[in-house]
Amino acid sequence: MKLRHTLAASLTIAASIPAFAEIKVNDILSVSGYAAGSYQYFKPSGGPSSDTLFNGAKSTPSADALRTLFTFNLKPVTGNVSLFYIPNIPAGVMRNELTVLDAYATYDAGGGFSFTAGKFLSYLGYEAFHPDSMSQVTYGSVTVGVLGGIPAYHSGVRLDYSDKEIGYGFAVVDSVYSPLGIDKGDGELKSNAGFEGYVTSNGLGDFKIWAGFAYDTKGNFQSHSVLTLNVWGEYKVSKEATVALEFLSKNGGAFSKGTTWLAYLNYAFTPKFSTVFRVSGEDLGDRTAGRDSTRYTVGPNFKLTDNLMVRTEYTYNKFDRGGSGSIFSVQGLFKF
């Protein structure tokens, strides 16, 4: 669950990589990554069922993905390049099955400040982009609802600051959202541009709160300017239990306007077995291109080793104006 907001708050790229996962090749180069594969069975009410096996044509395409991240430590500069593969990914989600996903460098300016340039992940979202940083198979409504409020990758520059009490950052990018897919922005600044920013607490112990915004200007593929506000809080109740709440508001004009939310509990019954309980929903207001909905998720997880785990999940999606659907998922994940 941590990769998005760990990356946003850190001063170095190494902070975004789980410590056990990094394979040090030499003093300069380290490698990390994961391989995730899943089986999903989908049954809508009043319709035929369908299933997918290691297939990116689903609402959470990264449930089936391979990523290899190369980190170059040339202090005070850290560089990151990653290769990312999703099988059978729809062209509207990512143009190619294999792509260069991360491609950026960070300069540690000292005093808590860092400067990053290249192609990188959005600040927004409590649920992580990458499955090795998640605790469940699928996303909630905030990420994969009709609003599509959580951006993914884009290109630009950003300035971040972090100390023991607070963290904040600001980015200028080619676009927040993109017609080209999850792995890139729109690739230009003349017609429109995107901006992101956040502030987060670092000194509240087991409680963390994060608030951020994203803004796309009108132009190019955006017929209306888009303003997204995102806030989440996480509290580690004990060594076994973590709870979180998230809220997002998006205003991109009459047909892209609404709010979405998420409530989350992860409970570790033993060091090897934990379960995620999640409820998320979407209120589309006057939007006529979709229906309000609520998703209920239960996800038992089995940790076989520090590097290998099996996840299972049941998600039930209920629409306010009728209709529902069930998703059964099983995922294997190896990380290195």
Instruction: Label residue 271 exposed, middle or buried (CB < 10 Å: 0-12, 13-18, 19+).
Output: exposed
Domain count, the chain: 1
Give the pLDDT score at 11: 37
Asked if residue 199 lies in contact with residue 212, where contact means CB atoms within 8 angstroms, the answer is yes
Q: Provide the domain limits for residue 211.
A: 3-335
Give dist(CA 81, CA 235) in Å, integer.
Answer: 32
Residues paired with residue 296 on neighbouring β-strands, in sequence order? 279, 316
Instruction: Tell me the two tokens of residue 162.
Output: 């972090």
Question: By three-state DSSP, how is residue 225 classified?
Answer: coil
Helix (H, G, I), strand (E, B) or coil at 264: strand
User: What's the CATH code of the domain at 57?
Assistant: 2.40.160.10
Biggest distance spanned by C-alpha atoms of the chain: 59
pTM of the model: 0.92
Distances 316 to 121, 159, 258 between C-alpha atoms, Å: 29, 40, 21
Tell me the CA distances in angstroms from 185 to 99, 176, 189, one per residue in order: 14, 7, 10
pLDDT at 261: 98
The pLDDT, as a whole number, for residue 16 is 37
Q: 262 is written with which tokens?
A: 């998420």
Only one residue has tokens 């230009």, namely 188
Give the pLDDT of the chain (336 residues) as one tens digit per residue. Answer: 444 544 444 433 333 334 445 899 999 999 999 999 999 999 999 899 999 999 999 889 999 999 999 999 999 999 999 999 999 999 999 999 999 999 999 999 999 999 999 999 999 999 999 999 999 999 999 999 989 999 999 999 999 999 999 999 999 999 999 999 999 999 999 999 999 999 999 999 999 999 999 999 999 999 999 999 999 999 999 999 999 999 999 999 877 899 999 999 999 999 999 999 999 999 987 655 567 999 999 999 999 999 999 999 999 999 988 899 999 999 999 999
- pLDDT on residue 287: 59
Residues 6+ apart with CB under 8 A from 55: 64, 87, 88
Distance CA(158)–CA(151), nearest Å, equals: 16
**Residue-by-residue DSSP string for 54-86:** S-S-SSSGGGSEEEEEEEEEETTEEEEEEEEE-
Q: How far apart are CA 310 and CA 187, in angstroms?
A: 37
CA dist 87 and 54 (Å) reads: 7
Q: Which is it for the CA torsion 193, 120, 104, 88, positive or negative?
A: negative
